[in-house]
């Protein structure tokens, strides 16, 4: 048995401003740094020690992983960075305020762009597109790691983690539209031979 820990990065500056972020390299807000630290402290309270850590190439995820590892007293553990774990690309919506976008295009259309499985925003990626690049990497690199070491950490983004959780939990295309991954809250899977056998959320 091994542990796979998924952590969505803490609140970013653009999360705080209610803007579509995607691939823009926006830093964590102070609240986001606190969320990451508190998530790491809850793992530390359980005596967890990470053997291998993965993150995206975007700073908000890298910093979240680093803060979690620092809370575990593992300041020297290097994180493996992979662009395949990056957030979905929002295309023409990138940088726009979500409320203003809803006023312009309507709540229903923006909800479809944000939450549907296979409808992309203009010039951007759908969750299906994000899944097509995230899952092959996850299955080729991260899942084998859970067979090799005891604890694997993945610090990434709302949509790349939705793609991973969809696969691990066998969630349908329809049901995934309802899934929200909270910021800074560790999700711990117990893994056996590369398959999840238990899941819990470490939220204090």
**Residues marked as catalytic:** 9, 87
Tokens 């295009």 — which residue?
A: 105
Cα 45 from Cα 42, distance rounded (Å): 5
Expressed in percent and rounded to 5, the helix, strand and coil fractions of the chain are 45, 20, 35
Quote the DSSP letter at residue 177.
G
Q: Is 113 helix (H, G, I), strand (E, B) or coil?
A: helix
Rg of the chain, C-alpha, whole Å: 16
Residue ranges in 9-71 assigned as alpha helix (H)? 13-16, 30-45, 59-71
């Amino acid at each position: 048995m091994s542990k796979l820990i998924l952590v969505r990065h803490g609140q970013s500056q653009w999360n705080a401003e209610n803007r579509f972020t995607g691939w823009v390299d926006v830093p964590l807000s102070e609240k986001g740094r606190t969320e990451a630290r508190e998530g790491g402290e809850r793992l530390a309270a359980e005596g967890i020690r990470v053997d291998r850590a993965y993150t995206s190439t975007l700073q908000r995820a890298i910093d979240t992983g680093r803060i979690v590892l620092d809370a575990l007293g593992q300041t020297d553990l290097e994180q493996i960075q992979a662009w395949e774990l990056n957030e979905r690309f929002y295309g023409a919506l990138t940088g726009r305020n979500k409320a203003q976008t809803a006023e312009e295009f309507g709540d229903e259309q923006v909800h479809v762009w944000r939450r549907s499985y296979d409808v992309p925003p203009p010039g951007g990626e759908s969750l299906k597109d994000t899944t097509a690049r995230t899952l092959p990497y996850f299955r080729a690199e991260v899942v084998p790691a859970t067979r090799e070491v005891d604890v694997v950490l993945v610090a990434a983004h709302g949509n790349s983690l939705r793609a991973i959780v969809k696969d691990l939990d066998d969630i349908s295309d329809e049901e995934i539209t309802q899934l929200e991954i909270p910021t800074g809250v560790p999700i711990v899977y117990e893994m056996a031979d590369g398959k999840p056998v238990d899941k819990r959320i470490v939220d204090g």
